[in-house]
Amino acid sequence: MEQTNPIETSPVEKPPRRWRWGINRWWILLFIVLTIIGTSFIAPVMPHIQVAPEPLLEKPLVTLPVIGAIPLTNTLVAMLIVDVILIALAYSVYRNSKKGSLVPSGISGFFEMLVDMLYNLTENTAGRWAKKIFPWFATILILVLFTNLVKLIPGFESIGILHHAEEGHPIQQVIGNVYTVTDGTAAPGEGYVVTPFLRGTSTDLNFTVALALISVIMTQVIGVRAQGPRYFSKFLNFTTMFKKPFLGFMDFIVGILELISEFAKILSFSFRLFGVMFSGVVLVAIVSQMVPVFVPSLIYFFELFMGVIQAFVFGMLTMVFMAQATQGHGGEEHQ
């Protein structure tokens, strides 16, 4: 008697879950309607655009003997907020790491993934000098990244203190002691401009120059640690000057160009980050006044993208220059 196999029934497969685009469309429509209602009550006004950071206090924060007065600027306050956020995140990751869990989750998992990715990238580029270069690369990248992202929070560069100005706008009371500037131009000396409490730190040239100086100086330090005094031969090369005068003269000229390029890196680092982030502020201000509905959101997405790219570029260039500084002439690593 033959035995027949029972009919094998495969489990019923559930249809793939589809994204509910309908709800997203309704949310977008709701935000557009709210934007139209908001701009009808309070029309967007072209803000006062200033390259230098604005001081928040009349008196300086501290006065140093050689440097002089240091005011409390809105970019400095924003930098302190970024520092607090980074310290809080680092403490949170530290506490989660002490729980003994082998599988990190949440913020710890994100930062472990980020640090692991950055270290692998550094190791592939710098080799055995990765441990020396990685802290500078990761610190600069994360600092610039959070500095660029925090400035996208609503209220940055738009909420602040009203000041009299020769060329300013009229003001309108919102509630209590809260006022807003309105569209139009006030009489000379009777208008107001807003000095925001917070402004993106990357739009302050002092911040970008300081980062550039740290990057370039530490590149030289790592180069000296890797090659010793031989590192300076790429700037002042006299080794072949007397044996082969023509080639020695060319090596000397190349060394001078290398020295000039090191100083050019400071300008390149500083003005690239400053120019891109400051232009984003100006672009958002102009577009918000000209087309206040929906289009500014697209500009914010673009500024978010550029903020991430600029943080990656600044950090990557620092890492690459440091890795190149550990290499001898002709690409041979000094042993």
Q: DSSP string spanning 37-64?
A: HHHHHS--------SSPPBSSSS-SEEE
| Structural domain boundaries enclosing 165 | 160-196
**What CA–CA distance (Å, rounded) separates 30 from 284?**
21
The answer to whether residue 270 sits within a structural domain is yes
Whether 229 and 261 map to the same domain: the answer is yes
Whether 206 and 291 map to the same domain: the answer is yes
The predicted pLDDT at position 309 comes to 93
Domain boundary among 150, 173, 196: 196
29-43 residue pLDDT tens: 777 777 777 666 666
Whether 230 and 325 map to the same domain: the answer is yes
More confident of the two residues 118 and 112: 118
pLDDT interval class at 4 (50, 70, 90): low
Considering only 40-49, 206-215, 301-310, which range has the smallest mean pLDDT?
Answer: 40-49
Decide: 73 and 300 in contact? Cβ < 8 Å: no
Residue type, 277: M
Query: Is pLDDT above 70 for 130?
Result: yes
Whether 102 and 183 map to the same domain: the answer is no
Whether 168 and 218 map to the same domain: the answer is no
Whether 216 and 120 map to the same domain: the answer is yes
* Tally of structural domains, the chain: 2
The answer to whether residue 36 sits within a structural domain is no
The answer to whether residue 6 sits within a structural domain is no
Query: Is pLDDT above 50 for 98?
Result: yes
**CA torsion angle for 63, 69, 70, 71 (degrees, to 10)?**
110
The answer to whether residue 323 sits within a structural domain is yes
227-255 residue pLDDT tens: 888 888 888 776 666 667 667 778 788 88
The answer to whether residue 4 sits within a structural domain is no
Q: Which residues are within 8 A (CB) of 181 and not within 5 positions of it... i.e. 6 or more apart?
A: 45, 162, 168, 169, 170, 171, 172, 192, 193, 194
The predicted pLDDT at position 1 comes to 47
Does the pTM surpass 0.85? The reply is no
Whether 125 and 231 map to the same domain: the answer is yes
- Average the pLDDT over 305-318 and give the result: 92
| Tokens coding 305 | 């993208």
pLDDT interval class at 81 (50, 70, 90): very high
